[in-house]
Chains A and B, each alone.
Chain A
Amino acid sequence: MILDLPRFVTAERVYWNELQTVLDRLRLEPNWRMSIPEIERLHYLYERCSADLVRLDTFATEPQLRAYVESLVARAYAEIHETRARAGKIRWGAFIAAFPRAFRRHPGAFRLAVGLTLAGCAFGWFAIRADPDAKAVLMPFPALMGSPAKRVAEEESMKTDRLHGHKASFSAQLMTHNIQVTVMTMAAGITWGVGTIILLFYNGVILGAVAADYVGAGYGQFLAGWLLPHGAIEIPAILLGGQAGFILAGALIGSGERTSRTERLRSVAHDLLAIALGAVAMLVWAGIVEAFVSQYHQPVLPYSLKIAFGILEMAALSIFLSRVGRT
């Protein structure tokens, strides 16, 4: 049996055109709020076109016509079966609260990130204490290669502002680099978490090695005054990137869960987004502090003041992550 195609097209074209007009408008105006009668009409047109597609599949052989109706049905399907809320105006209050809520929903992933970083720190610490020559391998950065005593002496006797005329660009470079590291730590979760583990551990190794170098030489106060003002925000931001990486890895692996991988990934997507954006905002702040505060030492900025500032930031961050968004 073959469909009487011209009669069929003549009868149905008016509905196809109407549906196409509605779909084009939805594409051009993503925030168009349809009235109830308009929604009902869209639903009717979708069902009618779906029925046409079935008839064409069963009784007709014209591929171009089938592709046309199929594309209409596909587009209408996305609109009709979209049950999720549309993005309207951004509500900043809810947006800001989403970050700590997402953080609190996955304590295990954050603990794992902290644990791996601490393990890396311990490794870096003991490696440097056991073999100071390992410094060149563990922290291959020219700024960290010299002797702590020499650096502290230079920094404390500095008469001029060595960052004069470079502070803002230095700050921008720090921000972009740290955001890249954090995004990579999160994205590496797609390797079932292996990449995230390596990055967090290596980050910890560098931190532990630097701490061992300065504390071992008796400059613990200088180290705290140098690292705490920006590190109090920067290090937790990287840990949050690690947390997001492990959330992603957990959704991929889905050990013991009966839901599909697609459902698991869908369920954590919002949390990943909230944590990633929160970490980026933290790193913008950390970049500013690192360029404008951390690089100035005693007598310009007393260590006690810098350490107090760092502790204050850490306390504020802890309160924000643990309290904001609780109902």
Chain B
Amino acid sequence: MIDIQIFNSFSDVLKYLEAKRDNLLKALEVKVGSNDVINAVDGSFGELSETYRDEIEDIISDINYMLKKIRTNNDYTGIIMLVEENGSPNKIYIIPGDLI
């Protein structure tokens, strides 16, 4: 699943990624009991795949990897497209100019 986030500057990208990582870390702290899961679509009781923690950990490590790469000394402003694949930041496209 591919998703795209649009930013105006690298510092916004950093903020977004850091916030997402913090949210995920918080989510990992939650202990999910077997009776607690509700399907978001209709409110019925559901099940949660046991691998969800691994997947969250994968995303966190991918975010950390991307954060390590974004250490720019001049903060570029323009259209910055962050491509997320299955929730993990994957690629950044820089499009000069701005959307009015």
- Does B associate with A? no
- The interface of chain A, by Cβ under 8 A from chain B, is none
